[in-house]
Amino acid sequence: MNIAFFLQNLKLSPETKEYIEKKLQKFSRFSQKIMNVQVDLSFNPGHDSLKKFRAEINLELPKALIHAAARAPELRDAFDLVEEKIQKQLLRWKETDEIKRRETRKIIRQRKSL
């Protein structure tokens, strides 16, 4: 799993980067098929004080792209919110992928029995 960071109007401390990478490693338990992870973090002082930090994650999977974004007053809060959204989408994708595999196996077995 390749992780790429894109930052706008902020610098990432080593502690925060380590925190984010640790959280992203949890995604591998949902699927070993995750190829690339793109993390976009930005700070916009002109926004409402409750939405100054923006976190966005793009996961590249075979035949799928999972995207989520969130805003919050603190960077870690924004990242935690977007992480929850991605986890929900990954679970849904995993269930759909398993159903497709089962159906494919069923079709193959039926064809072999003919």
Q: What domains are defined for the chain?
A: 2-113 (3.30.160.100)
Beta pairing, strands 36-43 & 53-61:
antiparallel
**94 pLDDT exceeds 90?**
no
Report pLDDT for 96: 85
Q: How confident is the model at residue 98 (pLDDT cuts 50, 70, 90)?
A: confident
pLDDT per position as a tens digit, 12-24:
999 999 999 999 9
Global pTM exceeds 0.75: yes
Q: How confident is the model at residue 101 (pLDDT cuts 50, 70, 90)?
A: confident
Report pLDDT for 89: 92
